[in-house]
A and B are shown apart, each in its own frame.
Chain A
Amino acid sequence: MRAQRTQRPRRAAVTGIGVIAPNGQRPDAYWKAVSEGVPVLDRITREGCDHLPLRVAGEVRAFDASALIEDRFLVQTDRFSHFAMAAAALALDDAGLGSGDPAEPFSVGVVTAAGSGGGEFGQRELQKLWGQGSKFVGPYQSIAWFYAASTGQISIRGGFKGPCGVVASDEAGGLDALAHAARAVQRGTGTMIVGAAEAPLAPYSMVCQLGYPELSTVDDPDRAYRPFTADACGFVPAEGGALLVVEDEDRARERGATVRATVAGHAATFTGASRWEESREGLARAIRGALDEAGCAPEEIDVVFADALGVAEADRAEALAIADALGAHGTRVPVTAPKTGIGRAHCAAPVLDTVAAVLAMEHGQVPPTPNVSDICHDLDLVMSRARPAELRTALVLSRGLMGSNAALVVRRAGESAR
């Protein structure tokens, strides 16, 4: 039996970040684009998509999977897993854990969130099925399309044998995965690799999204995704994602790693698909739950990364939820939505926002919300340029199209509950 710890509970520290985003394929490039508010939304260029009414998205261009991942992993995986494996490798490098087999493989686990799985791979194999026959379907179809593929392949590739999992809880699952990893660390796992990556910009995957009433089909990239404005016309999808290394803070410091932030609190609720008015209460409760777990007063929140769906009813519900949960502070705290520059990468969207939150705290800047001006809600939304600010605690919000709501509190390294 393990000796009882008498010191404070274990804390989950972020020690590594890997990003494959439409606006940058390393954290420094991502932060430069995010902090400068450079939008990269553009007309979709992927083959086979030009006849579809969805015109604008955030594509990850010039991504060279073969430079980062071995062929034997590439042939058996979809683009969403390519992003995830690449981001995981970058995060492990950033954490100083990149080379060779892990010293303690059972102390390293993986958890990812996934919203759509491997649509492009699945489409290719299904076309073989109906075009040539069942004998022409490759065996990797059995694993590549599946939500769990990225977690599995990251763990196999790295030789990680600790607790692994996949969160399938809608877009907000990106935050739920981070919470899951933090809890695994609190329960004793040394290191977790956690995050999400999505690849929803192939013909089959795009057709699946066309049924969402919240999807923006506006074809002007500068006007397609403008949450919190009177011109809000839905959201623009994106591909890519981010993986983080989360580990026990004391253990991280003992091995000399740089602690970039801590995961302080999380809560999630469910209020039903597209019932945006009801998401107000669900999101407010998630915020309160996350603050509770973090031991954080509303006034301590220095910046909010909004879900920013871009649907009038949903934007109103979010603004009201922030006010409900944070009180008067809710109208004073800087709010931002850098995802208006890159689109919403489904489950990966709140993970990219969490990365932006960590980088914002490190740089002392609230990044702006590209393409958005003249908002019609009572929020202090940071718009045209980054705003310098002392940021110790950030709140990240996410809602899913199917009704999940989640909130995550992250703190700057060295900060703790007051």
Chain B
Amino acid sequence: MITTEMTFGELAALMKKAAGITVDPQELEQASDSPFDSFGLDSLGLLGIVGELENRHGRSLPPDSERCRTPREFLDLVNSTLTAGA
């Protein structure tokens, strides 16, 4: 079970692993309200990240999690979901 909130650094690492996108964690945080498109991440890429997180934590994220538009929106959703069950 998750004990600490997911960070922009972890999201950046997942973007690299699941979608091959290199992004600096600080830039991701600074531009966290920019759409994922602007980082080169499409919905299939985000779907891969959702799957990775679900497998890692052994629980589901809400339906349509891969439709989050921005990094901040996605992190808020992930953290509220995972910490709610902690």
Contact = CB atoms under 8 A, between A and B. Distances in A.
Interface string A5-17: 0000000000000
A71 B79 CA distance: 28
B18 A75 contact: yes
Interface stretch (A110-118, A132-140, A180-188, A319-327): A132-140
Contact of A71 (B21, B47, B48): B21
Interface string B55-76: 1000000000000000000000
Contact of A70 (B20, B44, B48, B54): B20
A71 B54 CA distance: 23
Contact of B48 (A73, A74, A140): A140
A136 B18 CA distance: 12
A78 to B, nearest CB: 14
B44 A71 contact: no
A72 interface: yes
Nearest to B60: A135
A139 B47 contact: yes
B31 interface: no
B13 interface: no
Contacts of A135: 51, 54-55
A416 interface: no
Contacts of B55: 135-136
Q: SS class of chain A's interface: helix, strand, loop or mixed?
A: helix
Given A139-B44, A142-B44, A76 B20 contact: yes
Interface residues of A, number: 14
Nearest to B46: A139
A31 B20 CA distance: 34
Interface string B1-28: 0000000000000001011111000000
Q: SS class of chain B's interface: helix, strand, loop or mixed?
A: helix
Interface string A105-138: 0000000000000000000000000000001101
A70 B21 CA distance: 9
B20 A139 contact: no
Contacts of B44: 76, 139-140, 142-143
Interface string A142-157: 1100000000000000
A139 B41 CA distance: 13
A76 B45 CA distance: 9
Contacts of B47: 139
A76 B18 CA distance: 9
Contacts of B19: 72, 75-76
A136 B22 CA distance: 23
A307 B8 CA distance: 56
A72 B21 contact: yes
B51 A138 contact: yes
Given A76-B44, A140-B44, A142-B44, A71 B51 contact: no
Contacts of A71: 16, 20-22
B51 to A, nearest CB: 6
Contacts of A72: 19-21, 40, 45
Contacts of A74: 20
Contacts of B21: 71-72
A140 B42 CA distance: 11
B74 to A, nearest CB: 16
A53 B4 CA distance: 52
A73 B18 CA distance: 11
A139 B65 CA distance: 14
A74 B18 CA distance: 11
Contacts of B48: 138-140
A139 B51 contact: yes
A74 B16 CA distance: 11
13 contacts: A72-B19, A72-B45, A74-B20, A75-B18, A76-B19, A76-B20, A136-B51, A136-B55, A138-B18, A138-B51, A139-B44, A139-B45, A139-B48
A-B complex: 3 closest residue pairs judged by Cβ atoms:
A71-B20, A75-B20, A72-B20
Given A76-B20, A136-B55, 8 more contacts: A71-B20, A73-B20, A75-B18, A76-B44, A76-B45, A136-B51, A140-B44, A142-B44
Interface of A: 70-76, 135-136, 138-140, 142-143
Interface of B: 16, 18-22, 40, 44-45, 47-48, 51, 54-55
